Structure 1
């Protein structure tokens, strides 16, 4: 490299034509076609030629640019790539600055950056609620870099056996936030919340821990008597709950049901993927009892929703069926629990294959089963299943 000193502050300031103006020692003044000026350091290390930006001409004087170029030449003399060295330095600076970035702050940033892509608007509040309940009390105020395996275990181990599904969700959400923080250079190292090859060595599989009944369910032997009481009640919430039981569907799917989704001619209810928890379109074969219920309603003339609420053009409240259960002196039950009633009945009293029952509940099954379902044979089996369930319900 030529010794520096070919440029002067005056000539550098007067340079207008686009091009590269050498000062020596690997330092160049670059003038773009738009007239912008910047300092460039050119070097060759291990047979590889590279260019490194040293800053804007308006920010750094010629003397300062020479000092920067000198520092780079010294690194090259030691066999150190100055570009890689700067990247490491910046990473350390970001990491140092991130000591003030707590896990709770990272969680907020993660939720904010991802919520636009979540199918359900409730996901953001659900994420925040679980983190506030389980993760943040354990390490929310700590720097995200400080979160280690012990802290993650402190958050999820107490509920792993008693609330296994919730604990698994919390672990996954912590893992996602820590991965985000690593990508943003707020932390380094392996993710202490990862399951495979790590927490799986410290915690039992969810399938091995005691299952907890999250939704109070009615024993299937009592469903006929319950349905008799339910059908004696003249309320739209009663019809909605009856339809939910007959179709083994979820509350959100029931209250959002539209007449446009139902084909009365083929006795089929097609729920669009946008309204399904699994994000897949779900076809529900309707039994004779379910069809009788629909035919007794006002139909499309009563508005777009099958089960309209008190406000015109609005669906039934998501609390209406729960309030109905309270009026029936059954506050011990939940709407979702009737899906468990259906599942228990199918498993213990019928010979229907498990995948048929799982598909009826809109649970995700294998691609092979999904392909069979699309061909129609599982749909026919599910129709037989729902007819049998309807008859059992009385």
Structure 2
């Protein structure tokens, strides 16, 4: 029978020097003393076919009596077929898992935003992206653990704005969904995403495209177009030139501001905008949008200075801001008002016309002043035309027919064309 270690007192334990010492009371209970005098408890024991050394804590934080109690409990557990070391590992893993799940929505949003915001091109858009979530989602969800957020919590955020601010509400939903997706991927959440649309929120909320009011941008009136164009031609500056190109092509401001020279083929007389290009409004899975270049457009392009990849470069480099084109449009209005005119305002709202409203002006011109096909106008505006079945079979973008239409539009802007343009030689 092995010799039983002497049971040391607390005072004797405190006086032990560097090394490993039996303290008695429970077989295998040891006191470790480091060279700097730090003391801690160790239980040396066999578990199955493994020899274990189990730490029981530091002395005097764990007293001698407590150490003997913990050692006895560990040995009793071993006799019951439990490995204390494995139990401790499992407990630690559970604790870490719990800590990972213990992330609030605000914390998750900040982590996701840190990864997402650098992808956004402008500071203004980054501010808007963040502001929607901060204003509408954070007050309701910010302090909640991401693991605890349910569909009812999401609906509490969306219901007040879904019918009245549908576009904003849709963006909030998408950004909350992405934040929760990020939290799940990082191990902070399990289960389905309560902010997902398909098979979830679509069952309890109205479809956005059924309830969202179409935003009508203040448009230039047809009877003002030639006068407006003449005023535009009297202005210098890259903003005015970009606005002229936007008017001639009936394109979106973003498509013009981020247009690059490698999109232009002067030989083929085409401007091709690829899917997914910045501010193109064309989904990455969509089709390229081709714009036929007329003589007026080509003359404008050839007169541009080449200052880099972009067609229209800001004075300090980089792309023009949306505000630059808006300022040019506003200046034309203000000058006309100062000379006694009515300015350039929308026929219905009397609000000052904006660059995007040039597209509406073009569309109204096609309908009211020409015999050109309406579908051609929609294609020119980069709108999706027809049902999915029709889109699958009708792959033509009517490029040459549209070239004739855009040439007639350019002549209308300059005042050269008659008010009623009759389509000749472009049908068939």
TM-score (norm 2): 0.61
Q: Is the 8 A contact 1:248 1:338 kept in 2?
A: yes
Instruction: Measure the CA separation in 2 of the matches of 1:322 and 1:138.
Output: 36
Q: How does 1:195-274 map to 2 (within 5 A)?
A: 195-213=197-215, 215-219=217-221, 222-271=224-273, 274=277
SS at structure 1 position matched to 2:282: coil
Residue ranges of structure 2 left out of the alignment (5+ in a row): 1-27, 31-44, 55-70, 334-343, 345-350, 415-428
Q: Is the 8 A contact 1:135 1:170 kept in 2?
A: yes
Q: How does 1:350-361 map to 2 (within 5 A)?
A: 352=373, 354=375, 357=377, 359-361=379-381
Instruction: Identify the residue that residue 326 of structure 2 maps to in structure 1.
Output: 322
Instruction: State the Cα deviation string for residues 17-50 of structure 1 (Å, max 9, x = none).
Output: xxxxx95536478xxxxxxx99xxxxxxxxxxxx
Instruction: State the Cα deviation string for residues 351-383 of structure 1 (Å, max 9, x = none).
Output: 5464x555534457869958975xx65434543
Instruction: Measure the CA separation in 2 of the matches of 1:370 and 1:386.
Output: 26
Aligned length: 333
Structure 1's 151 and 298: CA in aligned 2 closer, same or farther, altered over 3 A? same
Q: Is the 8 A contact 1:259 1:299 kept in 2?
A: no
Whether 2:305 is the aligned partner of 1:285: answer no
Shift, 1:87, TM fit: 6.5
Instruction: Measure the CA separation in 2 of the matches of 1:358 and 1:108.
Output: 40
Instruction: Measure the CA separation in 2 of the matches of 1:158 and 1:347.
Output: 39
Q: In structure 2, which of residues 347, 354, 360 is the aligned counterpart of residue 334 of structure 1?
A: 354
Shift, 1:339, TM fit: 3.1
Structure 1's 109 and 382: CA in aligned 2 closer, same or farther, altered over 3 A? farther
Structure 1's 260 and 172: CA in aligned 2 closer, same or farther, altered over 3 A? closer
Instruction: Identify the residue that residue 192 of structure 1 maps to in structure 2.
Output: 194
Structure 1's 322 and 245: CA in aligned 2 closer, same or farther, altered over 3 A? same
Instruction: Identify the residue that residue 386 of structure 1 maps to in structure 2.
Output: 406
Instruction: State the Cα deviation string for residues 304-353 of structure 1 (Å, max 9, x = none).
Output: 65434434x55545422211222122573332333344455557766546
SS at structure 2 position matched to 1:292: helix
Q: Is the 8 A contact 2:246 2:256 kept in 1?
A: yes
More helix by proportion, 1 or 2? Answer: 1
Shift, 1:106, TM fit: 0.9
Residue ranges of structure 1 left out of the alignment (5+ in a row): 1-7, 11-21, 30-36, 39-62, 76-80
Moved more, 344-353 or 207-216: 344-353
Shift, 1:213, TM fit: 1.3
Q: In structure 2, which of residues 138, 145, 156 is the aligned counterpart of residue 136 of structure 1?
A: 138
Q: Is the 8 A contact 2:330 2:354 kept in 1?
A: no
Please, what is the CA RMSD of the aligned residues? Answer: 4.6
Shift, 1:240, TM fit: 1.3
Q: How does 1:46-85 map to 2 (within 5 A)?
A: 70=78, 73=81
Instruction: Measure the CA separation in 2 of the matches of 1:367 and 1:121.
Output: 37
Instruction: Measure the CA separation in 1 of the matches of 2:304 and 2:185.
Output: 55
Q: How does 1:79-228 map to 2 (within 5 A)?
A: 91-95=97-101, 98=102, 101-115=103-117, 118=119, 120=121, 124-213=126-215, 215-219=217-221, 222-228=224-230
SS at structure 1 position matched to 2:239: helix
Instruction: Measure the CA separation in 1 of the matches of 2:209 and 2:201.
Output: 15
Structure 1's 178 and 245: CA in aligned 2 closer, same or farther, altered over 3 A? same
Q: Is the 8 A contact 1:25 1:69 kept in 2?
A: no
TM-score (norm 1): 0.65
Structure 1's 93 and 260: CA in aligned 2 closer, same or farther, altered over 3 A? closer
Q: Is the 8 A contact 2:149 2:194 kept in 1?
A: yes
Question: Quick check: which has more Rg, 1 or 2?
Answer: 2
